[in-house]
Structure 1
């Protein structure tokens, strides 16, 4: 049985990514290419797909349409979906940490460096996509949980 993703694990990964990114950006920022506005936008469609998938699975679980019959959600598919949700939460958390690390460097530098001012909007878009992915992944994981069987509680 898989345990739910722990928020502390995601926060720890994000903090590690923040520190590592901030150090690297502080040292190498001058050699980085500009951050395009939609640099982190690729995470938004993934988050949207996971939200749609979550609602589909939530409906199947609520209607007890889990099994290996036709028009049912196969248990292996549900397990793979949980694995996808867990991986997406980790990727989103690490990516959020990277964008926060960039922002921690860029925001104070905006008044001194034009490049920092130009890179900041792209970092905000990327951070939004990462946070959206984490939220969607946690929602998808939550929707994959089966309701407690009342017969098992009586035994």
Structure 2
């Protein structure tokens, strides 16, 4: 499995944002934005960031840590990759919605929906960053013997 490329995630975010912005223009009243997405996604990001921190310490065999199972690391890496792509897609959805409601910012309802969409976008970007960090922490460290033989 190759590491996730942040450029691919950014391109996915932009494409989804443009598609969703076009969809919201025609179906604005049909979409509901839950404000509860913000704390939920932030808690997911916190969990992935903490998992990355703990996994990195366990892989490095820091004192007072248990050895990590290789299969567990592979599962965490798969979770990180899935979270990064899902976070980029949802960030694109919220960015498209925020871009459309920004045009209607002088009205009260679209203004409040803009803040929910913008907050959800930021939370999704934080999730993507935490997922990339978790994926980075799942890498196998280079041994000192390997560096000396090069």
Compute the TM-score of the two structures, normalised by the length of structure 2. 0.89
* Equivalent-residue separation in structure 2 for 1:39 and 1:82 (angstroms): 24
Aligned to 1:104: 99
Equivalent residue runs for 1:86-105 within 5 Å: 86-105=81-100
Distance 1:41 1:142, change over 3 A: same
- Give the conservation status (yes or no) of the 8 Å contact 1:17–1:98: yes
Give the counterpart of 2:132 among 131, 135, 138: 138
Distance 1:79 1:64, change over 3 A: farther
Structure 1 unaligned regions, length at least 5 = 66-70
* Equivalent-residue separation in structure 1 for 2:105 and 2:30 (angstroms): 17
Deviates more, 1:113-122 or 1:78-87: 113-122
Residues 13-33 of structure 1 deviation map (CA, whole Å, 9 limit, x = unaligned): 111210111011011003334
- Give the conservation status (yes or no) of the 8 Å contact 2:4–2:81: yes
Tell me the number of residue pairs that the alignment of Structure 1 and Structure 2 aligns: 147
Q: Tell me the CA shift for residue 126 of structure 1.
A: 0.6
- Give the conservation status (yes or no) of the 8 Å contact 1:37–1:121: no
**Alignment RMSD, CA only?**
1.8
- Is 1:74 the counterpart of 2:69? The answer is yes
Runs of 4+ in 1 over 2 A off after TM superposition: 30-33, 35-41, 149-153
Compute the TM-score of the two structures, normalised by the length of structure 1. 0.87
Q: Tell me the CA shift for residue 64 of structure 1.
A: 6.9
Aligned to 1:68: none
* Equivalent-residue separation in structure 2 for 1:11 and 1:37 (angstroms): 24
* Equivalent-residue separation in structure 1 for 2:31 and 2:7 (angstroms): 31
